[in-house]
Amino acid sequence: MSDWGPVFVAVVLFILLTPGLLIQIPGRSKMVEFGNFQTSGVSILVHSVIYFALICIFLLAIGIHICSSFCEEMADWGPILIGVVLFVLLQPGLLFQLPGNSKQLEFGSMKTNGKAIAVHTLIFFAIYAILILAVHIHIYTG
């Protein structure tokens, strides 16, 4: 049985919380900046904390599931932990950016663009879906 709920929630949050796309907290020159396509280590940390809080709310508190039959009732931390780690590692401009602003691939530029966000979202979706749906990585508590 496949539960697409965590995949859907994780990918939507990845897009909405990518620093610099819609919002960046803190911004480069102000506390909050909108649509500046910039990022920083601090803003990735802040956005990661927000991502963690929201994915916990949606997956654990609300319990969003998209499956055809009975879904597990126990708290599964696997989708949350994997989502947060991938959220941080795949932020465009932190480790790498594909495509870059001036080259096809840039490392540590702390900048992003619309194409890079789209490519990184596809990479996030593919890795997350493989780990959750194909490999079935789960961490159950209680």
User: For the segment 1-40, what is each residue's pLDDT rounded down to a tens digit?
Assistant: 577 888 999 999 999 999 999 999 999 899 999 999 999 9
Q: Which residue has the higher pLDDT, 1 or 106?
A: 106
Confidence of residue 69 (pLDDT cuts 50, 70, 90): low
pLDDT of 86 reads 96
Are 37 and 20 in contact, with CB atoms under 8 Å apart?
yes
At residue 131, does pLDDT exceed 60?
A: yes
- Hey, is 46 helix, strand or coil? helix
Question: 87-105: per-residue pLDDT in tens?
Answer: 999 999 999 999 999 999 9
The residues with which 75 forms a beta bridge, in sequence order, are 141
> Which residue segment(s) compose the domain that 63 sits in?
5-141
The pTM is what?
Answer: 0.83
- CA dist 49 and 21 (Å) reads 17
Domain count, the chain: 1
- Average pLDDT estimate for 49-77: 79
Are 80 and 10 in contact, with CB atoms under 8 Å apart?
no
Q: What is the mean pLDDT of the chain?
A: 89
Residue that is written with structure tokens 């709920």 in the block: 5
